[in-house]
Amino acid sequence: MKKNILVLYYTQTGQLEDIVKNIARPFENKNEEYEVTYYNIRLKEDFPFPWPSDVFFNTFPESYLQIPSEILPPPAEVLNKKFDLILFGYQVWYLTPSIPTISFLKSKYAADILKDTPVVTISGTRNMWMLSQEKLKVYLKDLKTQLVGNIALVDRHDNYTSVLTILRWMTTGKKEKSGMLPAAGVSEEEIAGSGKYGEIIEKHFSQDNFTGLQPELVKNGAVEIRPFLVRVEKVGNKIFTVWSNLIIRKKEKRPLLIKFFKVYLMAAIWIISPIVLVPHLLTTPLFWFKRKKQREYLQGINLK
């Protein structure tokens, strides 16, 4: 009897779809052993792409506070089948799993699909995904899902270059290299090569043993941790908590507050972030062991 594999994801640009399909290819290539089902989460009222700038920033409070939207029901082939493994692709919006991801996880369908099933999470992001993954771990635990692996593919360019390219991509739809700016997002070479992770997953799945899966994925480059960005995320979460709650509470002033938030966010990226970097670098010798332990935890799949 064939084993059932579900590839669950949401995509606007197509990048994450390319990633999850490449990772799923080793299962597709053994179609005598596996039946692969794809489920692209659909919102009842989807977000535009490219994003108008005002809409992009206006999604911030709901994104960060994990306020769901209504999703369209999954197809019958997803609802009426028990899966043996789920490859769960998601993006990060404002240091949090995207609204479509949260909307699925908070929907009435999630428990039936995910419960008691091994899950490998797969993200394609700019670079800050670590604490978002911690939030996702909580959802998966509450849904009684077994997290067995994590793959986090990122834009390998420096933090400031990737800010420019991602904003260009999100607001104009232009991903390719132009002028002095490189192509946005995860590199095409890394996307094309992501099938190696699928081979690792398939090997462990076929042996019914996920014990060494995550260490092998990490060894093969599936997860990179930059300690400075973890620090930025921690500071960002504190600040985003204040801003998001303020905007939600002050409904009548929302348009104005969103404009202030946009200005603040750009200032934080270009001015505050470099200031935070200096003490981080200076204290590296003092906190080397602590950061090493933190890196090992974030590369893993356990939840504190």
pLDDT in tens, 87-104: 999 999 999 999 999 999
Give mean pLDDT, residues 234-257: 95
The pLDDT of residue 278 is above 90: no
Q: How confident is the model at residue 158 (pLDDT cuts 50, 70, 90)?
A: confident
Residue 248 is predicted with a pLDDT of 97
Q: How confident is the model at residue 291 (pLDDT cuts 50, 70, 90)?
A: confident
> Of the candidates 224, 251, 267, which is a domain's last residue?
224
Inside any domain, residue 300: no
Residue 294 is predicted with a pLDDT of 93
Residue 282 is predicted with a pLDDT of 77
Q: How confident is the model at residue 269 (pLDDT cuts 50, 70, 90)?
A: confident
The pLDDT of residue 276 is above 90: no
Give mean pLDDT, residues 132-148: 97
Q: For all residues of the chain together, what is the average pLDDT?
A: 94
Inside any domain, residue 77: yes
Return the half-sphere exposure (C-beta side, CA atoms, 13 A cut-off) of residue 288.
3
Q: What CATH number should be reported for the domain holding residue 84?
A: 3.40.50.360
The pLDDT of residue 219 is above 80: yes
List pLDDT tens digits, range 14-30: 999 999 999 999 999 99
Query: What domain range includes position 277?
Result: 229-295
The pLDDT of residue 107 is above 90: yes
Do 125 and 86 share a structural domain? Answer: yes
Do 169 and 240 share a structural domain? Answer: no
Q: How confident is the model at residue 140 (pLDDT cuts 50, 70, 90)?
A: very high
Do 206 and 259 share a structural domain? Answer: no
Residue 35 is predicted with a pLDDT of 97
Which has more pLDDT, 207 or 158?
207
What share of the chain has pLDDT > 70, as a percent?
Answer: 100
Inside any domain, residue 301: no
Do 78 and 24 share a structural domain? Answer: yes
Do 271 and 219 share a structural domain? Answer: no
> Of the candidates 190, 224, 258, which is a domain's last residue?
224
The pLDDT of residue 290 is above 90: no
Do 240 and 205 share a structural domain? Answer: no
> Of the candidates 197, 224, 251, which is a domain's last residue?
224
User: What is the DSSP code string of the chain?
Assistant: -PEEEEEEE--SSSHHHHHHHHHHHHHHTTTTTEEEEEEE--BSSPPPSSPPHHHHHHTHHHHHTT---PBPPPPHHHHT---SEEEEEE-EETTEE-HHHHHHHTSTTHHHHHTT-EEEEEEEESS--HHHHHHHHHHHHHTT-EEEEEEEEE--S-HHHHHHHHHHHHHH---S-BTTB---SS-HHHHHTTHHHHHHHHHHHHTT--TTHHHHHHHTTS----HHHHHHHHHHHHHHHHHHHHHHH-GGGHHHHHHHHHHHHHHIIIIIHHHHHHHHHHTTTTTHHHHHHHHHHHHS----
Tell me the pTM. Answer: 0.94
Residue 244 is predicted with a pLDDT of 98
Inside any domain, residue 303: no
